[in-house]
Amino acid sequence: MSGRALRIGIDGRAFHSPAAGVRRYVTELTRAIAGLAEPGVELVTIDATGPSAPTNLGRHATALPMAIRAARVDLFHAPAYTAPLWGATPIVLSVHDVSYARHPEWYPYRRDPLRRWFYRRSARRAALIVTISEFSKREIIAAYDIPPERIVVTPLGVSDQFRPREPGDSAADPPFLLHVGDLHARRNLGVVVRAMARWAHNPTVAGSNPAPATNLRLVLAGVDRGLAGPLLDEAAGLGLREAIDICGRVSDDELVALYQRCAALVYPSRYEGFGFPLVEAMACGAPVIAAGTSAIPEVTGTAALLLDPDDEPGFAEAIARVLADPACAADLRARGLARAAQFTWAETATRTIAAYRRAANVQSPGS
Protein backbone atom coordinates (compact mmCIF):
# COMPACT_ATOMS: atom_id res chain seq x y z
CA MET A 1 0.00 0.00 0.00
CA SER A 2 3.03 2.27 -0.23
CA GLY A 3 2.66 5.34 -2.42
CA ARG A 4 -0.98 6.02 -1.62
CA ALA A 5 -3.04 7.03 1.37
CA LEU A 6 -4.68 4.32 3.42
CA ARG A 7 -8.43 4.31 2.80
CA ILE A 8 -10.05 4.09 6.24
CA GLY A 9 -13.74 3.42 6.73
CA ILE A 10 -15.21 4.79 9.95
CA ASP A 11 -18.63 4.05 11.38
CA GLY A 12 -20.79 7.09 10.68
CA ARG A 13 -23.37 6.18 13.31
CA ALA A 14 -20.88 7.08 16.05
CA PHE A 15 -21.20 10.77 15.10
CA HIS A 16 -24.79 10.60 16.39
CA SER A 17 -24.24 8.23 19.32
CA PRO A 18 -26.44 8.77 22.39
CA ALA A 19 -23.21 8.62 24.41
CA ALA A 20 -21.76 12.13 24.59
CA GLY A 21 -18.22 10.81 25.10
CA VAL A 22 -18.36 8.70 21.94
CA ARG A 23 -19.70 11.62 19.91
CA ARG A 24 -16.92 13.89 21.13
CA TYR A 25 -14.27 11.22 20.54
CA VAL A 26 -15.15 10.47 16.93
CA THR A 27 -15.84 14.11 16.04
CA GLU A 28 -12.60 15.45 17.48
CA LEU A 29 -10.51 12.53 16.21
CA THR A 30 -11.65 12.85 12.61
CA ARG A 31 -11.26 16.64 12.74
CA ALA A 32 -7.72 16.28 14.07
CA ILE A 33 -6.78 13.70 11.42
CA ALA A 34 -8.03 16.06 8.73
CA GLY A 35 -5.98 18.87 10.27
CA LEU A 36 -2.66 17.04 10.15
CA ALA A 37 -0.33 18.28 7.41
CA GLU A 38 0.22 14.85 5.82
CA PRO A 39 -1.94 12.30 7.56
CA GLY A 40 -1.44 9.62 4.90
CA VAL A 41 -5.00 8.40 5.32
CA GLU A 42 -8.31 9.01 3.59
CA LEU A 43 -11.33 8.78 5.89
CA VAL A 44 -14.57 7.41 4.44
CA THR A 45 -17.74 7.62 6.55
CA ILE A 46 -19.83 4.45 6.32
CA ASP A 47 -23.38 4.86 7.62
CA ALA A 48 -25.03 1.54 6.70
CA THR A 49 -28.49 2.54 7.91
CA GLY A 50 -31.94 1.76 6.66
CA PRO A 51 -34.45 -1.11 6.76
CA SER A 52 -31.71 -3.74 6.49
CA ALA A 53 -30.30 -2.58 9.84
CA PRO A 54 -33.29 -2.73 12.24
CA THR A 55 -31.16 -3.24 15.37
CA ASN A 56 -27.55 -2.55 16.29
CA LEU A 57 -26.74 -6.26 16.31
CA GLY A 58 -28.58 -6.80 13.03
CA ARG A 59 -26.74 -3.84 11.47
CA HIS A 60 -23.37 -5.36 12.45
CA ALA A 61 -24.42 -8.73 11.06
CA THR A 62 -25.77 -7.55 7.69
CA ALA A 63 -25.81 -3.94 6.52
CA LEU A 64 -22.47 -2.81 7.92
CA PRO A 65 -20.29 -5.69 6.61
CA MET A 66 -21.84 -5.28 3.16
CA ALA A 67 -21.33 -1.50 3.19
CA ILE A 68 -17.68 -1.96 4.20
CA ARG A 69 -17.09 -4.42 1.38
CA ALA A 70 -18.75 -2.07 -1.12
CA ALA A 71 -16.61 0.88 0.05
CA ARG A 72 -13.38 -1.01 -0.75
CA VAL A 73 -11.52 0.35 2.26
CA ASP A 74 -8.15 -0.87 3.52
CA LEU A 75 -9.45 -1.15 7.06
CA PHE A 76 -12.49 -0.21 9.11
CA HIS A 77 -12.44 1.77 12.36
CA ALA A 78 -15.28 0.86 14.73
CA PRO A 79 -15.06 3.72 17.27
CA ALA A 80 -17.44 2.49 19.95
CA TYR A 81 -17.00 -1.06 21.27
CA THR A 82 -18.82 -3.06 18.56
CA ALA A 83 -17.48 -4.34 15.25
CA PRO A 84 -18.99 -6.04 12.17
CA LEU A 85 -19.57 -9.72 12.80
CA TRP A 86 -17.98 -10.88 9.53
CA GLY A 87 -15.86 -9.65 6.64
CA ALA A 88 -12.26 -9.79 5.42
CA THR A 89 -11.41 -6.10 6.01
CA PRO A 90 -9.10 -5.61 9.03
CA ILE A 91 -10.79 -3.85 11.94
CA VAL A 92 -9.48 -1.28 14.40
CA LEU A 93 -11.83 -1.25 17.39
CA SER A 94 -12.03 1.50 20.00
CA VAL A 95 -12.74 0.16 23.47
CA HIS A 96 -12.98 3.03 25.92
CA ASP A 97 -13.53 0.96 29.04
CA VAL A 98 -14.77 -2.51 29.98
CA SER A 99 -16.99 -1.67 32.93
CA TYR A 100 -19.71 -3.90 31.45
CA ALA A 101 -17.41 -6.91 31.68
CA ARG A 102 -15.64 -6.06 34.93
CA HIS A 103 -18.69 -4.83 36.89
CA PRO A 104 -21.87 -6.33 35.44
CA GLU A 105 -23.63 -5.57 38.74
CA TRP A 106 -23.84 -1.94 37.58
CA TYR A 107 -25.84 -2.98 34.49
CA PRO A 108 -28.64 -5.26 35.74
CA TYR A 109 -30.81 -4.93 32.64
CA ARG A 110 -32.34 -7.55 30.43
CA ARG A 111 -30.28 -6.91 27.30
CA ASP A 112 -26.89 -6.42 28.90
CA PRO A 113 -25.72 -10.08 28.82
CA LEU A 114 -26.17 -9.92 25.02
CA ARG A 115 -24.33 -6.59 24.93
CA ARG A 116 -21.44 -8.05 26.93
CA TRP A 117 -21.23 -10.98 24.51
CA PHE A 118 -21.25 -8.57 21.54
CA TYR A 119 -18.46 -6.48 23.09
CA ARG A 120 -16.32 -9.57 23.77
CA ARG A 121 -16.91 -10.93 20.27
CA SER A 122 -15.94 -7.59 18.74
CA ALA A 123 -12.77 -7.27 20.83
CA ARG A 124 -11.57 -10.77 20.01
CA ARG A 125 -12.26 -10.31 16.29
CA ALA A 126 -10.44 -6.97 15.87
CA ALA A 127 -7.01 -6.85 14.29
CA LEU A 128 -6.07 -4.10 16.73
CA ILE A 129 -7.76 -2.41 19.68
CA VAL A 130 -7.18 1.25 20.51
CA THR A 131 -8.00 2.36 24.03
CA ILE A 132 -7.64 5.58 25.96
CA SER A 133 -5.50 4.81 29.01
CA GLU A 134 -3.03 2.30 30.36
CA PHE A 135 -5.66 1.42 32.96
CA SER A 136 -8.14 0.45 30.24
CA LYS A 137 -5.49 -1.58 28.46
CA ARG A 138 -4.93 -3.65 31.61
CA GLU A 139 -8.67 -4.06 32.07
CA ILE A 140 -9.20 -5.20 28.47
CA ILE A 141 -6.48 -7.81 28.87
CA ALA A 142 -8.11 -9.05 32.08
CA ALA A 143 -11.66 -9.03 30.70
CA TYR A 144 -11.15 -10.49 27.23
CA ASP A 145 -7.77 -12.25 27.37
CA ILE A 146 -6.45 -10.09 24.53
CA PRO A 147 -2.66 -10.21 23.99
CA PRO A 148 -1.06 -6.89 25.06
CA GLU A 149 0.56 -6.41 21.67
CA ARG A 150 -2.90 -6.13 20.08
CA ILE A 151 -3.82 -3.10 22.22
CA VAL A 152 -2.59 0.44 21.55
CA VAL A 153 -3.09 3.32 23.98
CA THR A 154 -4.20 6.59 22.38
CA PRO A 155 -5.03 9.08 25.17
CA LEU A 156 -7.77 11.57 24.40
CA GLY A 157 -7.45 15.31 23.88
CA VAL A 158 -9.31 18.41 24.95
CA SER A 159 -10.69 20.83 22.38
CA ASP A 160 -9.91 24.55 22.27
CA GLN A 161 -13.42 25.55 23.34
CA PHE A 162 -12.58 24.41 26.87
CA ARG A 163 -10.62 27.35 28.27
CA PRO A 164 -10.59 29.55 31.38
CA ARG A 165 -12.69 32.66 31.85
CA GLU A 166 -11.58 35.71 29.96
CA PRO A 167 -9.47 38.16 31.99
CA GLY A 168 -11.74 40.62 33.71
CA ASP A 169 -14.69 38.23 33.80
CA SER A 170 -15.12 38.33 37.55
CA ALA A 171 -18.85 37.90 37.89
CA ALA A 172 -19.65 36.61 41.35
CA ASP A 173 -21.50 33.30 41.38
CA PRO A 174 -23.07 31.60 44.36
CA PRO A 175 -20.71 28.73 45.21
CA PHE A 176 -21.51 25.47 43.49
CA LEU A 177 -19.88 22.12 42.94
CA LEU A 178 -20.19 20.52 39.53
CA HIS A 179 -20.42 16.96 38.31
CA VAL A 180 -20.48 16.19 34.57
CA GLY A 181 -21.51 12.80 33.24
CA ASP A 182 -24.44 10.43 33.18
CA LEU A 183 -26.09 9.85 36.53
CA HIS A 184 -25.15 6.20 36.93
CA ALA A 185 -24.38 3.91 39.86
CA ARG A 186 -20.66 3.76 39.10
CA ARG A 187 -20.40 7.55 39.40
CA ASN A 188 -20.86 7.18 43.17
CA LEU A 189 -22.53 10.57 43.60
CA GLY A 190 -24.04 9.75 46.97
CA VAL A 191 -20.62 10.28 48.55
CA VAL A 192 -20.67 13.93 47.45
CA VAL A 193 -24.16 14.52 48.85
CA ARG A 194 -23.13 12.99 52.18
CA ALA A 195 -19.88 14.99 52.17
CA MET A 196 -21.90 18.16 51.59
CA ALA A 197 -24.08 17.25 54.55
CA ARG A 198 -20.99 16.82 56.72
CA TRP A 199 -19.69 20.19 55.57
CA ALA A 200 -23.08 21.85 56.11
CA HIS A 201 -23.02 20.72 59.73
CA ASN A 202 -19.36 21.64 60.22
CA PRO A 203 -18.17 24.11 57.56
CA THR A 204 -14.94 24.74 59.49
CA VAL A 205 -13.56 21.24 58.85
CA ALA A 206 -10.66 22.82 56.97
CA GLY A 207 -9.98 25.41 59.63
CA SER A 208 -12.09 28.35 58.47
CA ASN A 209 -15.60 29.14 57.37
CA PRO A 210 -15.61 29.87 53.61
CA ALA A 211 -19.27 30.80 53.25
CA PRO A 212 -22.63 30.04 54.81
CA ALA A 213 -23.10 26.31 54.41
CA THR A 214 -26.62 26.68 53.08
CA ASN A 215 -25.33 28.54 49.98
CA LEU A 216 -23.46 25.61 48.49
CA ARG A 217 -25.15 23.77 45.60
CA LEU A 218 -24.34 20.63 43.61
CA VAL A 219 -25.02 20.96 39.88
CA LEU A 220 -25.35 17.67 37.96
CA ALA A 221 -24.96 17.94 34.17
CA GLY A 222 -25.70 14.66 32.44
CA VAL A 223 -28.38 12.19 31.41
CA ASP A 224 -30.15 10.37 34.23
CA ARG A 225 -29.56 6.62 34.07
CA GLY A 226 -31.80 5.81 37.02
CA LEU A 227 -29.84 7.50 39.81
CA ALA A 228 -31.62 10.87 40.07
CA GLY A 229 -34.60 9.68 42.11
CA PRO A 230 -32.63 7.82 44.79
CA LEU A 231 -30.05 10.61 44.93
CA LEU A 232 -32.69 13.29 45.48
CA ASP A 233 -34.36 11.12 48.14
CA GLU A 234 -31.04 10.81 49.95
CA ALA A 235 -30.45 14.54 49.69
CA ALA A 236 -33.93 15.25 51.05
CA GLY A 237 -33.26 12.99 54.01
CA LEU A 238 -30.12 15.01 54.75
CA GLY A 239 -31.92 18.35 54.38
CA LEU A 240 -30.17 19.15 51.09
CA ARG A 241 -32.89 18.61 48.48
CA GLU A 242 -32.91 22.27 47.44
CA ALA A 243 -29.11 22.23 47.07
CA ILE A 244 -29.19 19.70 44.20
CA ASP A 245 -29.70 21.01 40.65
CA ILE A 246 -30.14 18.39 37.92
CA CYS A 247 -29.55 20.00 34.52
CA GLY A 248 -29.72 16.98 32.26
CA ARG A 249 -27.84 17.21 28.97
CA VAL A 250 -26.39 20.68 28.32
CA SER A 251 -24.90 22.31 25.24
CA ASP A 252 -21.15 22.68 24.87
CA ASP A 253 -21.38 26.42 25.50
CA GLU A 254 -23.37 25.82 28.69
CA LEU A 255 -20.90 23.15 29.74
CA VAL A 256 -17.92 25.47 29.31
CA ALA A 257 -19.67 28.14 31.38
CA LEU A 258 -20.34 25.63 34.15
CA TYR A 259 -16.71 24.52 34.23
CA GLN A 260 -15.49 28.12 34.27
CA ARG A 261 -17.75 29.22 37.12
CA CYS A 262 -17.88 26.21 39.44
CA ALA A 263 -15.99 26.17 42.72
CA ALA A 264 -14.75 22.67 41.84
CA LEU A 265 -15.49 19.65 39.71
CA VAL A 266 -16.34 16.73 41.99
CA TYR A 267 -15.75 13.33 40.40
CA PRO A 268 -16.03 10.44 42.87
CA SER A 269 -16.43 7.80 40.14
CA ARG A 270 -15.46 4.22 40.96
CA TYR A 271 -14.53 3.40 37.36
CA GLU A 272 -13.39 5.49 34.39
CA GLY A 273 -11.52 4.52 31.25
CA PHE A 274 -10.37 8.12 30.93
CA GLY A 275 -12.83 10.75 32.12
CA PHE A 276 -13.45 13.57 29.64
CA PRO A 277 -14.81 15.90 32.34
CA LEU A 278 -11.48 15.77 34.18
CA VAL A 279 -9.43 17.28 31.34
CA GLU A 280 -12.24 19.60 30.28
CA ALA A 281 -12.57 20.99 33.79
CA MET A 282 -8.80 21.39 34.18
CA ALA A 283 -8.60 23.15 30.81
CA CYS A 284 -11.26 25.61 32.02
CA GLY A 285 -9.41 26.33 35.24
CA ALA A 286 -11.71 24.42 37.58
CA PRO A 287 -10.18 22.76 40.65
CA VAL A 288 -10.76 19.00 40.60
CA ILE A 289 -11.69 16.80 43.56
CA ALA A 290 -11.90 13.16 42.49
CA ALA A 291 -11.63 9.53 43.46
CA GLY A 292 -8.14 8.12 43.10
CA THR A 293 -9.41 5.08 41.20
CA SER A 294 -9.19 3.49 37.74
CA ALA A 295 -7.74 5.89 35.12
CA ILE A 296 -8.35 9.06 37.13
CA PRO A 297 -4.83 9.38 38.67
CA GLU A 298 -3.34 8.63 35.23
CA VAL A 299 -5.29 11.54 33.74
CA THR A 300 -5.01 14.13 36.50
CA GLY A 301 -1.46 13.44 37.69
CA THR A 302 -0.76 15.79 40.60
CA ALA A 303 -3.33 18.34 39.43
CA ALA A 304 -6.27 17.13 41.57
CA LEU A 305 -7.18 16.29 45.12
CA LEU A 306 -7.61 12.49 44.96
CA LEU A 307 -9.36 10.45 47.63
CA ASP A 308 -10.68 6.99 48.32
CA PRO A 309 -14.13 6.88 46.67
CA ASP A 310 -15.77 6.00 50.00
CA ASP A 311 -13.98 8.64 52.07
CA GLU A 312 -16.88 10.94 52.95
CA PRO A 313 -14.91 12.91 55.58
CA GLY A 314 -12.08 13.29 53.08
CA PHE A 315 -14.41 14.66 50.40
CA ALA A 316 -15.97 17.04 52.94
CA GLU A 317 -12.53 18.32 53.94
CA ALA A 318 -11.40 18.66 50.32
CA ILE A 319 -14.53 20.67 49.47
CA ALA A 320 -13.93 22.93 52.47
CA ARG A 321 -10.25 23.39 51.54
CA VAL A 322 -11.06 24.52 48.02
CA LEU A 323 -13.79 26.88 49.22
CA ALA A 324 -11.86 28.25 52.20
CA ASP A 325 -8.33 28.54 50.89
CA PRO A 326 -7.84 30.71 47.77
CA ALA A 327 -4.19 29.62 47.58
CA CYS A 328 -5.21 25.95 47.42
CA ALA A 329 -7.81 26.65 44.71
CA ALA A 330 -5.32 28.75 42.71
CA ASP A 331 -2.68 26.04 42.92
CA LEU A 332 -5.14 23.42 41.66
CA ARG A 333 -6.17 25.70 38.81
CA ALA A 334 -2.57 26.26 37.74
CA ARG A 335 -1.70 22.58 37.97
CA GLY A 336 -4.86 21.66 36.08
CA LEU A 337 -4.20 24.05 33.21
CA ALA A 338 -0.67 22.71 32.82
CA ARG A 339 -1.88 19.11 32.96
CA ALA A 340 -4.73 19.62 30.47
CA ALA A 341 -2.29 21.16 27.98
CA GLN A 342 -0.60 17.75 27.70
CA PHE A 343 -3.72 16.19 26.15
CA THR A 344 -4.14 17.19 22.49
CA TRP A 345 -6.28 15.77 19.72
CA ALA A 346 -3.35 16.11 17.33
CA GLU A 347 -1.43 13.60 19.43
CA THR A 348 -4.47 11.32 19.59
CA ALA A 349 -4.76 11.50 15.80
CA THR A 350 -1.05 10.79 15.26
CA ARG A 351 -1.15 7.72 17.49
CA THR A 352 -4.37 6.49 15.89
CA ILE A 353 -2.93 6.80 12.37
CA ALA A 354 0.08 4.74 13.50
CA ALA A 355 -2.39 2.11 14.73
CA TYR A 356 -4.19 2.19 11.35
CA ARG A 357 -0.94 1.57 9.47
CA ARG A 358 -0.03 -1.29 11.74
CA ALA A 359 -3.50 -2.88 11.62
CA ALA A 360 -3.69 -2.68 7.82
CA ASN A 361 -1.00 -5.34 7.71
CA VAL A 362 -2.46 -7.54 10.45
CA GLN A 363 -4.73 -10.48 9.73
CA SER A 364 -7.92 -10.28 11.82
CA PRO A 365 -8.04 -13.10 14.38
CA GLY A 366 -11.57 -14.01 13.33
CA SER A 367 -12.71 -15.41 16.67
Residues 6+ apart with CB under 8 A from 230: none
CA 344/CA 349 separation, integer angstroms: 9
What is residue 48's predicted lDDT score, i.e. its pLDDT?
64
Query: What pLDDT score was predicted for residue 287?
Result: 98
The pLDDT score that the predictor gives to residue 312 is 95
Judged by average pLDDT, the poorest of 3-17, 73-87, 206-220 is: 206-220
Torsion angle, alpha carbons of 307, 311, 314, 319, to 10: 80
The pLDDT of residue 366 is: 46
Neighbours of 363 (CB within 10 A): 8
What average pLDDT does the chain have?
88
- Which residues, including other chains, have CB under 8 Å from residue 176's CB and lie 6 or more apart? 216, 217, 218, 219, 245, 261, 262, 263
Contact residues for 105 (Cβ-Cβ < 8 A; gap 6+)? none
Within 10 angstroms of residue 181's Cβ, the number of other Cβ atoms is 21
Judged against a pLDDT cut of 60, whether residue 203 lies above it is answered with no
User: What is the pLDDT, as a whole number, of residue 250?
Assistant: 92
What per-residue confidence (pLDDT) applies to 55? 67
With contact defined as beta carbons under 8 Å apart, do 80 and 56 qualify? no
Mean predicted confidence (pLDDT) in 273-280? 96
DSSP state of 252: H
CA nearest to 319, candidates 220, 203, 212, 221: 203
pLDDT of residue 334: 97
If phi > 0 it is left, if psi is from -120 to 50 it is alpha, else beta; for residue 78 that is: beta
Q: Which of the residue ranges 44-53, 195-204, 220-229 would you say has the lowest mean pLDDT?
A: 44-53
Dihedral sign from CA coordinates of 61, 62, 63, 69: positive
Query: Distance (Å, rounded) from C-alpha 93 to C-alpha 355?
Result: 10
Please give the domain boundaries of the chain with CATH numbers for all domains: 6-157+345-359 (3.40.50.2000), 176-340 (3.40.50.2000)
